[in-house]
Structure 1
Amino acid sequence: MKKKTALARREALLALAAVLASGCATTSPATPPAPPAGSVRLTLLHLADVYQVQAVDDGQRGGMARAATLRKQVLRDSPHVLTLMGGDTLSPSVESLVEVDGQQLKGRHMVAAWNALGLDYAVLGNHEFDFGDDVLRERIRESRFTWLGANVEDTKAGGLFTGVKPYAVRELGGIKLGLFGVVLPETKTTTKAGKDTHFGDVCEAARGAVAKLREDGAQVIVALTHQTADQDRALTRCVKVDVVLGGHDHEALEDHTTGTPIFKVAADAVDLGRLTMDVDSATATVRQVVWQTLPVTRQLPEDAEFNAAMQPYAALFSKLSERVGRTPVALDARAAEVRTRETNLGSFVADAFRAAAGADVALVNGGALRADAVLPAGGVTRRDLHSILPYADELVVLEVKGDTLRAALENGVSLSREDSRPGRFPQVSGMEFTFDADKPAGQRVLGVTVGGKPLDAAATYRLATLSFLASGKDGYDMLKNQPTTPAMVNGHSPLDVLAEAFRTGTPSPHAQAAGRISRRGSGALAPDARQPPAPLK
């Protein structure tokens, strides 16, 4: 989900003001300059990292029904249009864990939404694999659009992942447009992808796809990617394409540093990206590229056809508005915070897990906490709850030696300098530790205490954590094959544990981070940076 920063909010307000001033809130959005004579204009609409159907920011921005309206406005003005999606939508969708007819949706509603919108192509995102391979195959079968993933292989069957294509060619206005998709290779260790699913080298897969596209007559080639901006830049150095449309970063981007334009949109459909490519009709040379982000705001009416198609899920959206408890303080759930330092939300979740499991210590990876916002003090809804913990995990207790616990912490901070937002970063309870990000990975943890006493390497500790980490994902290989038992004999999930904590006020969240994690080195954070800001309105 998107980061709510003051800058982003200011830019959104400016964009909204521009739309209102131009009178484009309910009419067709402004079109780019006229195409050069003798050229064909191709229009690509782009969304990525869309985790919910409804609007965000208290209904102010986003909403797929509004995006559907905007798309139709563009279709009326532009004859050659494709609608694309840059991955990550089945999970961690806020609604995916809600049950309908006794079964969790697991992204079924998101596929229904994309079908209703009129999506043409999507690249697989890393989070498409969060519910496992079988669920993803089912979602692909339900899709009326094409999933791309040139580097996603089924090693058992000896081909690409079932239902996925490496590339596609579409003729628009007499121009053959080629598209291919790639997803970041680390998906294997950060999701629940199956043992037979392999994520190959992006460069190699891209070269193969482009060669095949050229053989099939593609004149203009677009890479549809789900990886970081740096990985996208590396891709453009590896293979020649005309443009890259990406996802995964959750932030808007326009980058021309490598000579190949790279474009991304912010998450949750708060903007609709519009790329126009004017292609010489005689030589198929791209003569002009214009990128725009069209704000999706409450000024846009919701598309009636889209809402009619989504009517079977209306009760689900209403259920998410139910209040489950309250928090006496604002909780910092911003991704940039929970993935880099201790936050009061991280400590609260870890405390709740440790208390429910009766464990000595608890560890939760920051990447599991997905709300990416500052949750204000006051009532907590079911939607808030699902936005914090949108994964289908179990709470488990592991019997681990002290040296294994230390190794887990080392893994948690192993990317704290090299990767600005590592999902493996640990939020903890029952222990404190200090680390130095300037030291080599594996040697960063300087000291650990458990219950106020120095960590004993030979002692056994009861560790409460998520089954995802206990299976060795996100680099936590040292937790695999440790003695493990379910933490909740009543079958309650981590989501149930958190709901009970909000309902009862026990444990109570702290107003700020409690000083459990101390960071040293050049990447050390200013003390006041740990204070959660006032929530944005």
Structure 2
Amino acid sequence: MRRPRSRCPSWIPALLLVAGCAQNAQTVAPSDTVRITVLHLNDVYQFSPMDGGRLGGLARVSTLRKQVHAESPHTLTLFAGDTLAPSVESITEVDGKPLRGRQMIDAWNALGVDYAVPGNHDFDFGDAVLRESIHASRFPWLAANIFDNHTGRPFEGLQPYVLREIGGVKVGLFGLLLPETEVTSSVSQDTNIRDICSTARPVVSRLRAQGATVIIALTHLEVGQDRELAKCAPVDLIIGGHEHERIEDRSTGVPIFKVAADAVELGQVTLDVDLRSGAVKKLDWKVLPVTSAVPEDPAFAEAMRRYDALVAELAQPVGRTAVPLEARKKVVRSQETNLGSLIADVLREAASTDVALVNGGAIRGDTVFLAGQLTRREMLSIFPYADKLVRLEVTGETLLAALENGVSKSAEDSEPGRFLQVSGLRFAFDASRPRGQRVLCVLVGDKPLSPTARYSVATLSFLASGKDGYEMFRGVPATPALAEGRTPRDVLSDALRTGKPSPMRQGDGRILRASNIKATDKQCVPAAPTM
């Protein structure tokens, strides 16, 4: 029997030269083997293309997905969490109603997702909005470790795991969300997110007992937690999210794959499974770039037509910056940046306080915004949350505890959203020291921090409520710092529209690591350069 000729359209070979298009160029699976293909995405906050239309766009992903389905009928499409927020569209309104991620559920329904796991930011609008989103989805959401505290049952609408037969192979899938979501997002007291390994072990055993020969964990965890999962539960493949960057990790013997955020690339895993034994004989992974070279799927575009006016409105220019603004996730959550300093400065000025503290996790965009014109989308993407600006009065001891919390994860394999961008103070820290002892010196204004003195602090309501480990603020009276209806985003927008204050080209040394500071009881100053 003649093998079918490749049906790759003319744009595919050039597009996938690096990733390797010719699916047919791979060896055809033997007759006793079933080839299962897994397409995967994670951390997608907008369905339209990014970077001036050059990268991303779920309409392009839809084209790629249909092509892969035509070549490989045994295909699953998985989404590894984070989509309802922080999304620019999610904080806007259509037909007088806030979207709160509804546009992304419409997009996933139009694309054709098989299974998804919630991410930490899918709780940002609260439990009720996530429940509504799950019920509006035409695909199952999986999570084995999210439970209702009152009933002891899984969170409403979630399935802990599924067993699905694909080409004669029984494939088990289950989902896991990082437990820290309880403190990093707006999870209610009614919801509990349980430990990873103690959850996964019985789920995997149950799936094996039901005949699963291939088990896939769909996770929204830090990669270190994925490695722990690989060690404690016998799974065959981990498809993950959360880091916003491409990750291929085989250090534990269990492949862990993640792709970059916002659908600028599509992951593709190919598993050749022995029909007799159920063993995975071969596992390959490649990444398909999603660029303007890929045509948009007309059916997807038509399904999302109701959002055309919103997309056009978000493309309108609303401000300018004279210098590039650093908003990359890894940078804004680990060191001082010019954008972080600008935000902290304008909020401190608006609140008329001694100090301003802004958690790096509140500053989004995950890119360097180039000098020049800023669109409404870019402006909103920097500060997508609906936090209020509040004013606190705290002792120096409490302020020091907050700074210690901000650097408490700075030595780990993570990007802690709790890391602080500051105004009105300078501090130095050493991430190699024990937690709680990392801050070496603090100057408020030009004077050393006094543990007994009282300081006024401008911060976001998220931190003031004790989230992200800021328990020292819980119970401290918080008063609104802005007029009714005015938001921190409005304050930043005014600065970027008027150019006052103008952002710095780079930081001014207000946050210093041990490697480049001279710390004494009275000062936190940069060390003299070595010659």
Scaled by the length of structure 2, what TM-score is found?
Answer: 0.92
Match of 2:84 among 81, 90, 94: 90
Contact 2:428 2:517 in 1 (8 A): no
**Secondary structure class of the residue paired with 1:145:** coil
**Secondary structure class of the residue paired with 2:320:** strand
Q: Does 1:185 align with 2:179?
A: yes
Q: In the alignment, what sits opposite 1:240?
A: 234
After superposition, the Cα gap between the structure-2 partners of 1:462 and 1:383, relative to the gap in structure 1 and judged at 3 Å, is same
**2-side partners of 1:523 and 1:282: how far apart?**
63
Contact 1:28 1:74 in 2 (8 A): no
Q: In the alignment, what sits opposite 1:37?
A: 31
Q: Does 1:509 align with 2:481?
A: no
Alpha-carbon shift at residue 403 of structure 1 (Å)? 1.4
Deviations 1:294-331 (A, max 9, x none): 11111111011111111111111111112221111111
Q: Does 1:298 align with 2:302?
A: no
Q: Does 1:353 align with 2:343?
A: no
Q: In the alignment, what sits opposite 2:219?
A: 225
Q: In the alignment, what sits opposite 2:415?
A: 421
Deviations 1:163-187 (A, max 9, x none): 0010011111111111001111111
Note the 1:203-222 alignment, pairs <5 A: 203-222=197-216
Contact 1:256 1:262 in 2 (8 A): yes
Deviations 1:87-118 (A, max 9, x none): 11111123211122333211111111000000
Match of 1:388 among 382, 386, 390: 382
Q: Does 1:328 align with 2:322?
A: yes
Q: Does 1:374 align with 2:368?
A: yes
**Secondary structure class of the residue paired with 1:247:** coil
Deviations 1:446-502 (A, max 9, x none): 222222222232222221111111111111110111110111123212211111111
Match of 2:446 among 447, 452, 458: 452
Q: In the alignment, what sits opposite 1:473?
A: 467
After superposition, the Cα gap between the structure-2 partners of 1:312 and 1:22, relative to the gap in structure 1 and judged at 3 Å, is closer
**2-side partners of 1:361 and 1:346: how far apart?**
14
Q: Does 1:430 align with 2:424?
A: yes
Q: In the alignment, what sits opposite 2:162?
A: 168
Q: Given residue 451 of structure 1, which amino acid in structure 2 is its aligned partner?
A: G
Q: Given residue 435 of structure 1, which amino acid in structure 2 is its aligned partner?
A: F
**Secondary structure class of the residue paired with 1:434:** strand
**2-side partners of 1:66 and 1:297: how far apart?**
8
Q: Does 1:338 align with 2:332?
A: yes
Q: In the alignment, what sits opposite 2:395?
A: 401
**1-side partners of 2:70 and 2:332: how far apart?**
43
Q: In the alignment, what sits opposite 1:464?
A: 458
Contact 2:115 2:141 in 1 (8 A): yes
After superposition, the Cα gap between the structure-2 partners of 1:289 and 1:484, relative to the gap in structure 1 and judged at 3 Å, is same
**Secondary structure class of the residue paired with 2:134:** helix
After superposition, the Cα gap between the structure-2 partners of 1:29 and 1:106, relative to the gap in structure 1 and judged at 3 Å, is farther
After superposition, the Cα gap between the structure-2 partners of 1:282 and 1:374, relative to the gap in structure 1 and judged at 3 Å, is same
After superposition, the Cα gap between the structure-2 partners of 1:238 and 1:24, relative to the gap in structure 1 and judged at 3 Å, is closer
After superposition, the Cα gap between the structure-2 partners of 1:341 and 1:86, relative to the gap in structure 1 and judged at 3 Å, is same
**2-side partners of 1:22 and 1:470: how far apart?**
48
Contact 1:326 1:380 in 2 (8 A): yes
Contact 2:360 2:417 in 1 (8 A): yes
Note the 1:15-34 alignment, pairs <5 A: 19-20=13-14, 32-34=26-28
After superposition, the Cα gap between the structure-2 partners of 1:284 and 1:19, relative to the gap in structure 1 and judged at 3 Å, is same
After superposition, the Cα gap between the structure-2 partners of 1:24 and 1:428, relative to the gap in structure 1 and judged at 3 Å, is closer
Match of 1:150 among 130, 144, 149: 144
Q: Given residue 295 of structure 2, which amino acid in structure 1 is its aligned partner?
A: P
Q: In the alignment, what sits opposite 1:114?
A: 108
**Secondary structure class of the residue paired with 2:141:** strand
Q: In the alignment, what sits opposite 2:251?
A: 257
**Secondary structure class of the residue paired with 2:89:** coil
Alpha-carbon shift at residue 438 of structure 1 (Å)? 2.3
**2-side partners of 1:303 and 1:37: how far apart?**
33
Match of 1:268 among 262, 284, 300: 262
Q: Given residue 252 of structure 2, which amino acid in structure 1 is its aligned partner?
A: T
Question: Can you give the 5+ residue segments of structure 1 that lack an aligned partner in the other structure?
Answer: 1-16, 529-537
Q: Given residue 234 of structure 1, which amino acid in structure 2 is its aligned partner?
A: E
Deviations 1:396-430 (A, max 9, x none): 11111221111111111111123452211110011
Q: Given residue 243 of structure 2, which amino acid in structure 1 is its aligned partner?
A: D
- After superposing the two structures, state which structure 1 stretch, 31-40 or 70-79, moved more: 31-40
Task: Compute the RMSD of aligned alpha carbons.
Answer: 2.1
**2-side partners of 1:441 and 1:38: how far apart?**
55
**1-side partners of 2:382 and 2:292: how far apart?**
25
Identity among equivalent pairs (%): 57
**Secondary structure class of the residue paired with 1:287:** strand
Alpha-carbon shift at residue 364 of structure 1 (Å)? 0.4
Alpha-carbon shift at residue 150 of structure 1 (Å)? 0.3
**2-side partners of 1:382 and 1:32: how far apart?**
45
Match of 2:356 among 355, 362, 365: 362
- After superposing the two structures, state which structure 1 stretch, 85-94 or 413-422, moved more: 413-422
Match of 1:443 among 421, 428, 437: 437
**Secondary structure class of the residue paired with 1:464:** strand
**Secondary structure class of the residue paired with 1:159:** coil
Moved segments of 4+, more than 6 Å: 21-25
- After superposing the two structures, state which structure 1 stretch, 210-219 or 312-321, moved more: 210-219
Q: Does 1:482 align with 2:476?
A: yes
**2-side partners of 1:465 and 1:30: how far apart?**
56
Alpha-carbon shift at residue 517 of structure 1 (Å)? 1.1
Q: Given residue 102 of structure 1, which amino acid in structure 2 is its aligned partner?
A: G
Contact 1:438 1:521 in 2 (8 A): no
**1-side partners of 2:53 and 2:157: how far apart?**
35
Q: In the alignment, what sits opposite 1:7?
A: none
**2-side partners of 1:274 and 1:523: how far apart?**
46
Q: In the alignment, what sits opposite 2:41?
A: 47
